[in-house]
Structure 1
């Protein structure tokens, strides 16, 4: 069993907790590097892991169509490794100093080491996919999801400092950035193990709605919680030109108060950020919460359509808990 301590969330779900421990162990065993800064950086990132939500959905959704737990643990490990690699690269791009309440890997070891660490994790992803998938066609299908994830990240990059950003563009952006990985997590083993096309479509919808709600709620927390609680500096996205749902809604109703500040040539001051923060909390956050609620209800409705199975109740309970952001 892995040395990494799982989030206390999983104490309520002992069966999935045991499998998630096996997922972490497999990831750690897959890191075959000589003793180096890169290896230390990767091990540190894994040991400071988050909630393991994406591999949890892989394990739960696969329970409906396969008993091959060794294989699904392997594919869940690929999902979590991919997520970790993307976080490392995100922190490099954003020059983030913290991640998961810890010093970020790039800030601790330098950008060069962080790039190598992220790249090496992508190698592990493909090793796991090639080993645990039954055939090459399904690996190709998964690469299609990876392409969509990258396109979402590139779309976010292209949309930085876009003062005309609208909700439709934002939703398209987070579909690739976040929802695609939840979709992949929910469906990664389905074709290999002979799940019906109806089940696969339902799993895709569940992953999509969970991912959309999750990202919107995450963006709300930039304004709704302190940086100590969410693990990254509050309003950092605002200063870097990344405009999310709460700010977009506030810009729509109070453009004259917000856009001139965003357009000015000098850096946004803390006082200016706090003024925008107040407007976003009052006018943007409530509308963004309504949007997240819509996706949450859709996800729970889709889960209700799944066949009778012990995993169904776990999915309902976990998803309701997650999308209320009580964990």
Structure 2
């Protein structure tokens, strides 16, 4: 299976990710071929596979790295992530993702719900089969709870322009950073890395996830739909107010609130005005600085990882640094 071109510069990791994708696909076996086709389309839609990549990389710090086991756990993390994306698209009524039609747009909401549900089951089957202890299973359950709480927190605060930056950070800590954190931790823990390394991996993953989500939200205010593969400003139109808008509200509240209050009749001109105000307020750069801070914190922690695996540390640093510069 083909993986994202991002991994061409890391041949060994690329091969492991290709095998991870194959394992994901082979674990899908449904009598309902429509749902099966929907799931396989999503798996093969060109995601970057960042969570499984970080899991595989952190597993290299362990003393008992079993490749088949690591790839199975990596597959479970990407399966879990894919399930959340399918359900997100249902809630958002999204038509496109990664420049392709969403599962719900192609097959309908009923099929999309079943596809997402099946992927949750598939994820936990992989974890239960390959995890070395109940601790890993419990961590997966705990992480799913945090992801759900993050999503619910975001839903509860829709169209609320009084939401604070700290509330926003709490929400993305659950809905995005948690899976990065879990992926990094599982890789280290299940491969037999030291307690100190596993703990550090968990914290590094969290900071990477925070930076990743902030940057994802920045793209909504700085890139075209073709570039990022989904409609721009769509989150704002649906009442999901992310960091650039929240930063702009701190200094340009009087200009923004009337436009946001007019959400039921918001025109393309209103949307453009919101976009322009955010640019004038330098809010995108403020958000980017916070993403930079999280990235720098992660890079410093990566640099402190054991010195007996410098090549892996270098790949982790390169990959983490590159996320700060991404445009899609």
Q: TM-score range by the shorter chain?
A: over 0.9
Aligned partners of 1:142 and 1:188 also within 8 Å:
no
Match of 1:322 in 2: 323
Label 1:326 to 1:99 Cα distance change in 2 as closer, same or farther (>3 A).
closer
In 1: Cα distance, 2:192 partner to 2:66 partner: 12
**C-alpha displacement of 1:280:** 1.1
In 2: Cα distance, 1:135 partner to 1:201 partner: 17
Query: Is 1:47 matched up with 2:44?
Result: yes
Query: Is 1:147 matched up with 2:148?
Result: no
In 2: Cα distance, 1:242 partner to 1:35 partner: 35
In 2: Cα distance, 1:83 partner to 1:302 partner: 25
Label 1:241 to 1:265 Cα distance change in 2 as closer, same or farther (>3 A).
closer
**C-alpha displacement of 1:146:** 1.3
Q: How does 1:1-327 map to 2 (within 5 A)?
A: 2=1, 5-34=2-31, 36-65=33-62, 66-264=64-262, 266-283=264-281, 284-308=283-307, 309=309, 310-325=311-326
Aligned partners of 2:58 and 2:187 also within 8 Å:
no
Label 1:228 to 1:58 Cα distance change in 2 as closer, same or farther (>3 A).
same
In 2: Cα distance, 1:295 partner to 1:137 partner: 27
| Local SS of the residue matching 1:324 | coil
In 2: Cα distance, 1:157 partner to 1:203 partner: 29
CA RMSD, 1 decimal: 1.2
| Local SS of the residue matching 2:47 | coil
In 2: Cα distance, 1:191 partner to 1:314 partner: 19
In 2: Cα distance, 1:192 partner to 1:75 partner: 9
| Local SS of the residue matching 1:223 | coil
Label 1:86 to 1:265 Cα distance change in 2 as closer, same or farther (>3 A).
closer
In 2: Cα distance, 1:288 partner to 1:183 partner: 21
In 2: Cα distance, 1:192 partner to 1:302 partner: 20
Aligned partners of 2:61 and 2:188 also within 8 Å:
no
Aligned partners of 2:57 and 2:187 also within 8 Å:
no
| Local SS of the residue matching 2:61 | coil
In 1: Cα distance, 2:5 partner to 2:161 partner: 40
| Local SS of the residue matching 2:158 | coil
In 2: Cα distance, 1:95 partner to 1:153 partner: 15
In 2: Cα distance, 1:247 partner to 1:320 partner: 25
In 2: Cα distance, 1:108 partner to 1:70 partner: 34
Structure 2: runs of 5+ lacking an equivalent: none
Q: TM-score, normalised by structure 2?
A: 0.96
Structure 1: runs of 5+ lacking an equivalent: none
| Local SS of the residue matching 1:191 | helix
Label 1:162 to 1:14 Cα distance change in 2 as closer, same or farther (>3 A).
same
| Local SS of the residue matching 2:220 | helix
